[in-house]
Amino acid sequence: MEKPEKILVIAMPYLGDVLLATPLIHSLRLAYPEAQIDALVFKNTRIILEGNPDISNVIPVQQRSTLREKWQVIWKIFRRYNRVFTLPTNDRAFLYSLLAAPLRINAVPPKPGTGWWKRFFVRSWVEFDGDKTHTVLQHLKLLEQVAVPAHYQLIPPQVENLAEVAKKFAFMAKGNYAVLHCCPQWTYKQWTAESWLRVAHHLLSLNITPVFSGGNSADELAYIHDLMARLPDGAINLAGKTSLAELSEIIKNGQFFIGVDTGATHLAAATGVPVVALFGPTNPVVWAPFPAGWQSSATPFARQGSQHVGNIYLLQGRGDCVPCQLEGCDRHRNSRSRCLDELSAERVNSLIDQFRGGRVRINVSPQEIQD
């Protein structure tokens, strides 16, 4: 098969989803160092690709496009590529793939189900099971269709000037801090404010600075502002004050990271620092943060239980229903999840004590966390 001169990768969902596509893109870059490799993503997720050396161009699309905007995207991609890899299984991504290149390697929904017919319009396809395989590994299966070796490294966004970041965030020089990310996009993935406060108090008692990260939405800013108001001096509020590339650098230079099931936790995992990931309804087999240094096509995490794999310490809420894969106990995104509400701060503080005591291990094989 001829080496492609122009490749398009379509990866349009959320920030974390786009980050989990970077091992596929990195593998393509290593296989085809001279090729033009473009990424088509939603406009609000392009920041996760900032400074990515594997990507030639980022093509942003609006999540809700006007007809004119859709035609503009079609004009940019129409028959401009030799090969296209499509990660989302939705109709919009599929249509873009049809228009972009004659050779199409697409993810398709499991059969039976909606979208089964898409298999007849692509060069080759991989069925995404959505239950038994990690998302990174599902993406990399597309490479088997074109005999490209898989590389498992996630590529976080990168800053241009490290000195400027160090000057802007002077606390990084001491390194005696931990980043806490407490605001997911949806309520059903939230931990309780009281638990975050107990963890922050514990960090302060150990002379470790809690650094709260977050976006710039009004709700997120208000939530973290409320936490800060209930803490003594010493904590740092970075909500809305960093780019993702800056946040990546801040996380990498800290002692460890604690976060809920959200894109920032995937970002932290990619930096290689120890990560405490708080999981409730979500299936960790598919969506756990991908361990740095993982070099296997085997899925890193089991479905149930608190686990330690590589730099990831995954704490799962307890309950016979966990993980239910539902959007909260009331079955909508803005409902609470009891398994997370009842996940105690003491379980997190116990891990912090291990980190502080130098007992943190970066292993390769999975290991259950005894708690």
Domain that holds residue 298: 162-368
Domain annotation covers residue 155: no
Name the nearest CA neighbour of 38 among 26, 52, 55, 22. 55
User: What is the pTM (predicted TM-score) of this model?
Assistant: 0.93
Per-residue DSSP letter, 35: S
Shared domain for 175 and 321, answered yes or no, is: yes
Shared domain for 43 and 105, answered yes or no, is: yes
**Residues with Cβ < 8 Å from 281, sequence gap 6 or more?**
188, 189, 322, 323, 324, 325, 326, 327, 328, 337, 339, 340
The residues of the chain scoring below 70 in pLDDT are: 1, 111-114, 357-371
Q: Residue 229 phi/psi, 5° resolution?
A: -65, -20
Name the nearest CA neighbour of 341 among 329, 332, 331. 329
Domain annotation covers residue 85: yes
Name the nearest CA neighbour of 76 among 10, 154, 156, 160. 10
Dump pLDDT digits (tens) for 301-320.
999 999 999 999 999 999 99
As a whole number of angstroms, the distance between CA 178 and CA 199 comes to 11
Domain annotation covers residue 150: no
What's the pLDDT at 362? 57
Shared domain for 180 and 39, answered yes or no, is: no
As a whole number of angstroms, the distance between CA 194 and CA 340 comes to 12
What's the pLDDT at 118? 82
What's the pLDDT at 356? 79
**Residues with Cβ < 8 Å from 263, sequence gap 6 or more?**
14, 15, 16, 19, 48
